[in-house]
Amino acid sequence: MRALIFLCALLWAMPTAAADWTLNGELSGLSFGSVKKGDVGEVHHFTALKGSVTEAGDVTITVNLESVETWLDIRNERLREFLFETAKFPLATITAKLPADNKLRDTPAGTITTLTVPVTLSLHGKSATFATDLVVARISANRVLVMPGELIMLDANVFDMAKGIQKLMELAELPSISAAVPVTFHLVFDAPE
């Protein structure tokens, strides 16, 4: 899911500190939508996200794909087994490198900035690099909130998931499931006290 890539990009806006910044999993969220039968939309999310930005500016975010939550147990199981294939690919990983000239390093609390950043998403054995606009809000000296500037649309085919989508259609007896996946997120990162 290309949207996961963009989670990482959030970290571009975080100042480099003397220690790692850590994703606050309780305050952060990653949601995605699915469209079946042409116009039936549903919203899903992941419950297990981890991430950090190192002192050197290396950004890593991981999404435990086993944590997918669709509000139907059988659908959760099918997504894990046939779409994400979590037995082989349990995680989605987003990586980036903060630029040396990151001007947000010293921005005061209350500052909101929009950045366009490239991030790499590794999902289902494939990797792709994308650029997106991110809205970065410096909530306090030790906390940053990152959100997409616009809704993110991912193409599941980029990550070789067409067979999984086809299998889900067969199992649920659906005429269609779109490979276009809308994604949104809100990520909160905390600096060490």
**Distance (Å) of CA 176 to CA 20, 108, 166, 167:** 44, 48, 8, 11
**Sequence spans of domains, the chain:** 2-190
Decide if pLDDT at 7 tops 50: no
- What burial letters (b/e) apply to 2-11, b meaning 16+ CB within 10 Å? bbbbbbbbbb
Third-level CATH fold of 2-190: Lipocalin (2.40.128)
**Quick one: pLDDT at residue 9?**
41
Model confidence pLDDT, tens digit, residues 44-56: 999 999 999 777 7
Model confidence pLDDT, tens digit, residues 9-23: 444 444 444 468 899
| Count of C-beta atoms within a 10 Å radius of residue 121 | 26
